[in-house]
Amino acid sequence: MKYKRLGKTNLEVSQLGFGAVQICRVPETEAVNLVREAVNSGLNLIDTAHDYPDSEDILGRALKGLRDKVIISTKSGKTSREEFLDELNTSLKRLNTDYLDIFLFHGTSKSENLDKLIKNGVVEALLKERKKGKVRFIGFSCHNPDIIDRFYEVADFSALMIPINFVSTEFVDKNYKKLVKNDIGIMAMKPLGGGRIEDARVSLKYINQYEKVIPIIGMQSIRELEENLELVNIKEPLDDGDRQTIENIRKELGDKFCRGCGYCLPCEQGINITDVNYIKVFFKQFPFDRVVNPERDKVVEHVDECIECGKCIERCPYSLEIIDMLKENRDYYFMRKEMGK
């Protein structure tokens, strides 16, 4: 395993990060064994979040006795000071640790959410917790490439987690050089497009072009771990065959690849467009009962209220066929619900 410096954190992290969003999908014993095997294989960067169902609890058990061998990154999306601090302290307890190496503000893709973090004293609160030693480094998790410049204004941040794959190229196109210049540690979420890109070999070859990027891949089996460990060491650049594969996949996903940036919102009918259009990703990442529930039933059923005004399509910077996607994901959700687990 090779290690890289994660920007100005100066943390030496494994060239591949372990995404812990999917370990809640497998029996706990298997999940614990998987995490420990990953650490024993040399992976030392582990990413999770307060809102990933049982992820932090599983990691807390799996990393018992291994804390000094790992770098833990977790997240909170709360925008009130009290709720944010509660989630921070809960994460520490779940993860069975006195400190977090990296703590990311989650869901900072829209200016209004960032404004709340500042206005409500959340950023200030985290800076105080850092002084207490509960957090070593501060960062952001973001789905919107156009808001990243604002992060330099509001916090002394050292790390950033953004989607990077050969479909969502806008982040590296717009931000990579400046992030490197400012020595920000770059972690790539969704290197496989949240499971929508099935060619892991080409995906990792694409990301390997960007020396400063650490891909974070969600894993749920030893087989996936072994495959990713092998692929991350590919040194060859993209060849013509790879580029053709990329072009084919881009064409296939291009008009149905939601980035979750939220530009389409708000919907005048109150439809949660991004949540609905991530349905297939949710089924790949989370346990069935965390995806299918009465609350999400209501969210998905609300698609029936769409009047097809087209305003969401006008706002979308990627010209996605959002109305068709909403219907497709609605139908897929209820099909999966009827099928059961």
pLDDT of residue 195: 84
Q: Is the predicted pLDDT of residue 306 greater than 90, yes or no?
A: yes
Q: Is the predicted pLDDT of residue 341 greater than 80, yes or no?
A: no
pLDDT of residue 254: 77
Mean pLDDT to the nearest integer, 164-184 = 94
Mean pLDDT to the nearest integer, 79-91 = 96
296 within 8 A of 283, measured Cβ to Cβ: no
pLDDT of residue 194: 84
pLDDT of residue 92: 98
Averaged confidence pLDDT in the chain: 94
Q: Is the predicted pLDDT of residue 49 greater than 90, yes or no?
A: yes
pLDDT of residue 244: 97
**pLDDT tens-digit series, residues 251-270:** 888 788 898 888 899 999 99
Percent of the chain with pLDDT over 70: 100
pLDDT of residue 233: 86
